[in-house]
Amino acid sequence: MTVSIAVAGASGYAGGEVLRLLADHPGVEVTTVTAHSNAGQRLIDVQPHLRSLDYLTFAETTPEVLAGHDAVVLALPHGASGAVAASLPDSTLVLDCGADHRLTSEADWERFYGGEYHGAWTYGLPELLHADGTRHREHLSGARRIAVPGCNVTAVTLGLAPGIRSEVIEPADLTAALAVGPSGAGRALKTMLLGSELMGSASPYAVGGTHRHIPEILQNLRVAGAAHPSISFTPVLVPMSRGILATITARLEPGADASSVRSAWESAYSSEPFVHVLPEGHFPKTADVVGANTALIGLAVDEDAGRVVVVVALDNLVKGTAGAAVQSLNLALGLPEDLGLPRNGVAP
Ligand SMILES: NC(=O)C1=CN([C@@H]2O[C@H](COP(=O)(O)OP(=O)(O)OC[C@H]3O[C@@H](n4cnc5c(N)ncnc54)[C@H](OP(=O)(O)O)[C@@H]3O)[C@@H](O)[C@H]2O)C=CC1
Ligand SMILES: CC(=O)N[C@@H](CCC(=O)OP(=O)(O)O)C(=O)O
């Protein structure tokens, strides 16, 4: 049976990437796409790279338009998906690429986002290691409401969870500095601004513990077993269209060494199709993962500093959003988890 899907916010970057993956997914058919200012336009006039979807025209994003599908993917700005989702039947699988249903703490929502709190949904990070050794994918089977993680959050969580679960790193005093591409900010970021100010520069933003992904990272680290995690998180916008390179450090627990560190990460991800730990001495680049639903992890122990250094690369629009949405959709519907998901990137 083919699953019928509507994608809301399909004129944006995240929605466009969801469509690129679904277009080649053998188990689904995209029957409806919606937009806001682009409603009424043909999809391929706005997303000209999506040639096989030339039969689609953007409708308005309304509950009526989205009703009647087996699955709905929401790729709307923060605050826009809560009300839309609430009007869809419980039996419809709804995946929200935005933040509206990620945080379990209403206080965190109010502090970092504000506006109406809609409650948390099942979290869409299948590889998330729980403190008891289980994986989060078990919670996704049969789920009908899924909150897709933030892209920076995915990188930092995948980078830290094995060390926390196996108690080789201290969950307080963590640091993460991320080089991020501007596509993470969506299509709304002004093109002229990108050309004149972003190119040729590296620009920090949300410095000093203010980034809205911090509570989501801490929430995940608690799931992995950290009682009181704390992290200093600094993103830096760099001139690459896609990608995140997260450089994360953590203090070694007493008694932990290079061997126990490597074994913690390798055992956590040895069976994962989309998360790979690189051999000793190898570190990932963002260019290695462009277009792929893959996160690559490099590890080192800095003996002098007494810290583990974890470097994670992923494509913010694939493993950081659209790929995570499709992977979660597969699990929710009982399809093979990797169906329709590219493991290989594009190069150069
Ligand atoms: N870009 C990324 O790497 C990631 C994005 N996300 C999340 O995905 C969601 C979409 O982000 P992204 O694609 O980057 O953003 P874009 O700005 O590229 O796209 C936003 C989409 O939402 C539509 N839209 C804009 N305003 C409204 C509104 N008031 N009501 C309904 N629809 C509206 C736009 O329509 P139109 O263009 O026709 O006006 C467009 O389709 C966000 O919640 C974002 O946080 C999550 C992880 C990573
Ligand atoms: C460059 C840039 O601005 N990137 C965004 C990442 C967007 C993302 O992960 O998604 P959500 O907005 O859904 O949380 C940021 O750092 O906030």
Find the ligand nearest to 238 CA: 2
Summarize pLDDT for 264-309 with one digit per residue, the tens.
999 999 999 999 999 999 999 999 999 999 999 999 999 999 999 9
Q: Which residues line ligand 2 (CB under 6 A)?
A: 98-99, 150-152, 180, 182, 184-185, 213, 235, 237
Q: What is the pTM assigned to this prediction? A: 0.97
Long-range contacts of 51-57 (CB under 8 A, 24+ apart): 52/23, 52/24, 53/19, 53/23, 56/10, 56/30, 56/32, 57/33
- Joined together, the tokens standing for residue 216 give 């989501």
191: pLDDT confidence band, cut at 50, 70 and 90?
A: low
Average pLDDT over residues 86-106: 97
Backbone angles phi, psi at 219, to 5 degrees: -60, -45
* Closest ligand 1 atom, residue 316 Cα: 3
Find the ligand nearest to 63 CA: 1
pLDDT at 149: 98
Q: Which residues line ligand 1 (CB under 6 A)?
A: 9-15, 35-38, 61, 75-78, 80, 97-98, 150-151, 183-184, 186-188, 316-317, 320-321
Identify any residues that bridge with 235 across adjacent strands, giving them in sequence order: 178
Minimum mean pLDDT range among 12-16, 28-32, 59-63, 81-85 = 81-85
- Assess whether the previous peptide bond of 229 is cis (omega < 30° from 0): no
Q: What is the ipTM of this complex?
A: 0.97
Percent of the chain with pLDDT over 70: 98
**Which residue has the least CA distance to atom 3 on ligand 2?**
185
Whether 313 shows a pLDDT value over 70: the answer reads yes
Select from 38, 47, 293, 321 the residue to mutate for testing ligand 1; criterion: most ligand atoms less than 8 Å from CB.
Answer: 321
* Closest ligand 2 atom, residue 180 Cα: 1
Whether 204 shows a pLDDT value over 90: the answer reads yes
pLDDT at 192: 56
Cα-to-centroid distance, 316 and ligand 2 (Å): 9
Whether 330 shows a pLDDT value over 70: the answer reads yes
Q: What is the DSSP string of 27-53?
A: TEEEEEEEESTTTTSBHHHHSTT-GGG
Summarize pLDDT for 16-41 with one digit per residue, the tens.
999 999 999 999 999 999 999 999 99
* Closest ligand 1 atom, residue 9 Cα: 41
Cα-to-centroid distance, 150 and ligand 1 (Å): 13
- Burial of 107 from C-beta contacts in 10 A (0-12 / 13-18 / 19+): exposed
Select from 7, 13, 41 the residue to mutate for testing ligand 1; criterion: most ligand atoms less than 8 Å from CB.
Answer: 13
Minimum mean pLDDT range among 26-35, 180-189, 227-236, 267-276 = 180-189
Residues with active-site annotation: 151
- Report all structural domains of the chain as residue ranges with CATH numbers, in order of start: 3-148+318-333 (3.40.50.720), 152-314 (3.30.360.10)
